Amino acid sequence: MNLQAVLNNFLSAPVLFFFLGLIAVWVKSDLEVPPAIAKFFSLYLLFDIGIKGGEELYHSGFTPQILMIMAACIFMAILVPLIAYRILRYKLDVYNAGAIAATYGSVSAVTFATAQAFLSSQDIKAGGYMVAGMAIMESPAIIVGLFMIRKSTAGEQNALSEKPAHGSGMGEVLREAFFNGSIVLLMGSVIIGYLAGDAGEKELHGFVKDIFKGMLALYLLDMGLVAGSRMSALKNSGMFLILFAILTPLVNATLGIGISYIMGISEGDALLYTILCASASYIAVPAAMRMAVPQANMSLLLPMSLAVTFPFNIVIGIPTYYSVINYLWN
C-alpha cells in the first residue's frame, strides 16, 4: 500500500471537511447543514457527475468495451448481494440480511465523486461511461435483496407484504428501484450531457468544473455530521457487523480489480469500477427497503454503510485500491 497516497488523500480538502463534521459532532457543536441545503448538494453532485459523464461519452462514443463494462457492473450488482446475504444469515434474520445485502450490492454516488476527485488530483483520465455503470448498479441489488427475502420466507404469511409500509405495493417498490430521483437525475444528466456535446460543455463549464470540489467538500462536511450522529448506534451492531462493513468493501474491491484487469481497461476506469464494487448505498436502498421490508432494522443498516464503510472507502480505500491497480497495471 502506498502510504503517501493515503496521506495525500487524507489531507485533501473534501476529506478533511468530512472529519470536520465528525469532530463537530464529537464536541457537541451546534454546526448543522439545513436539510434543504444538504439536498441541494446531493442534487448538484448527481447533476455534475452525470453531465461530465455524458460529455465524456459524447467524445468517446459507444464501443464494445463500454458494453462489456456495463455487463460487468450488472454482474457485480447481482453477485455481491447474493454472497453477502449468505454470510449475513449466520448472524441475522432474513429481513435484515436481505436489506443489508442489497445495501452492499448497490453504490454510493458520493464515494464515486470522491474517487473522481482523487483521479483529478492525480491527473488521471477516466471514461464518462462509468457514470452509466453507477446508475445501473442500484436497481439489481434492490431486486436481488427482495428476491432472497421472498425465497427464504416462501409460505410465511406477511413475510414480505404486498402492501408494505405507507400502503405501497411491490409495484411501487420496483418503481422506486428503477425510477427513484437519484437515478432519474443521474441518467437524465448523462443523456443531456451527451446530446449537448461541446456546446453544452462550454455553457456549463463554470458550474460543472470550477466549483465541483468546493461543493463536494461541503457535502462531505454534511456527511461527517450525519456519520458522527450515527456512530453511537454502532455499539448495538456487534463486532460481526462492524467487521462485515470493513471486510466486504475489501473483498468486493479485490473482485473489482480482478475483473478490471481481465477486461483490460485503463487505470482510471479500473479505480472507478472498483469503488463501485466496494461502496454501499445509504440513500436509495434504505429508502426502498424501508418501504418494502418494514421488518428490517434501519438502525443496523445505516450505521454500517454510512459510519463505517463510507469513511473507510473515502479515506483508506480509494488510495489503497489505486495503489494496487497502479502496481498491477505497470
- The pLDDT, as a whole number, for residue 165 is 44
Mention every residue, 6+ apart, whose C-beta is less than 8 A from residue 94.
148, 149, 152, 153, 159
Task: For residue 236, tell me if it sits in a domain.
Answer: yes
- The pLDDT, as a whole number, for residue 174 is 65
Q: Do residues 180 and 106 touch, judged by C-beta distance below 8 A?
A: no
Q: Do residues 71 and 210 touch, judged by C-beta distance below 8 A?
A: no
Under DSSP, the state recorded for 73 is H
Q: Do residues 76 and 252 touch, judged by C-beta distance below 8 A?
A: yes
**Number of folded domains that form the chain:** 1
Task: For residue 28, tell me if it sits in a domain.
Answer: no
Across the range 256-283, mean pLDDT stands at: 94
Instruction: For CA atoms 62, 67, 68, 72, give the dihedral sign.
Output: positive
Half-sphere exposure of 280 (CA within 13 A, CB side): 34
CA angle 315, 317, 318 (to 5 degrees): 85
Task: For residue 104, tell me if it sits in a domain.
Answer: yes
Task: For residue 124, tell me if it sits in a domain.
Answer: yes
- The pLDDT, as a whole number, for residue 279 is 94
- Please report, for the domain that includes residue 191, its CATH number: 1.20.1530.20
- For 306-319, write each residue's pLDDT tens digit: 888 999 999 899 99
Across the range 51-56, mean pLDDT stands at: 81
Dihedral angle of Cα 318, 321, 327, 330, to the nearest 10 degrees: -70
More confident residue, 305 or 234: 305
Range with the largest mean pLDDT of 67-81, 150-164, 214-228, 230-244:
67-81
**Whether the predicted pLDDT of 166 surpasses 50:** no
Calculate the average pLDDT of the chain. 84
Task: For residue 315, tell me if it sits in a domain.
Answer: yes
Across the range 254-259, mean pLDDT stands at: 97
Under DSSP, the state recorded for 157 is T
Q: Which domain holds residue 201?
A: 3-22+33-153+161-329
Task: For residue 282, tell me if it sits in a domain.
Answer: yes
Please report which confidence band the pLDDT of residue 13 belongs to, taking 50, 70 and 90 as the band edges.
Answer: confident
User: Is residue 297 helix, strand or coil?
Assistant: coil
Across the range 79-90, mean pLDDT stands at: 94
**Whether the predicted pLDDT of 324 surpasses 50:** yes
Joined together, the cell numbers standing for residue 30 give: 451546534
Task: For residue 311, tell me if it sits in a domain.
Answer: yes
Pick the closest to residue 276 from 93, 86, 66, 70 (CA basis): 70
Across the range 63-81, mean pLDDT stands at: 91
For residue 27, which amino acid is it? V
More confident residue, 105 or 63: 105
Rounded to whole angstroms, the Cα distance separating 93 from 114 reads: 34
Q: Do residues 132 and 58 touch, judged by C-beta distance below 8 A?
A: no
* 211 alpha-carbon distance from chain centroid: 22
**Whether the predicted pLDDT of 168 surpasses 80:** no
What share of the chain has pLDDT > 70, as a percent? 88
- The pLDDT, as a whole number, for residue 156 is 58
**pTM for the full model?**
0.83
Pick the closest to residue 315 from 111, 174, 142, 156 (CA basis): 111
Across the range 234-262, mean pLDDT stands at: 91
Task: For residue 243, tell me if it sits in a domain.
Answer: yes
Please report which confidence band the pLDDT of residue 327 belongs to, taking 50, 70 and 90 as the band edges.
Answer: very high
Please report which confidence band the pLDDT of residue 206 belongs to, taking 50, 70 and 90 as the band edges.
Answer: confident
For residue 257, which amino acid is it? I
- The pLDDT, as a whole number, for residue 76 is 95
- For 96-146, write each residue's pLDDT tens digit: 999 999 999 988 888 998 998 899 888 898 877 888 888 788 778 888 888
- The pLDDT, as a whole number, for residue 167 is 43
**Whether the predicted pLDDT of 158 surpasses 70:** no
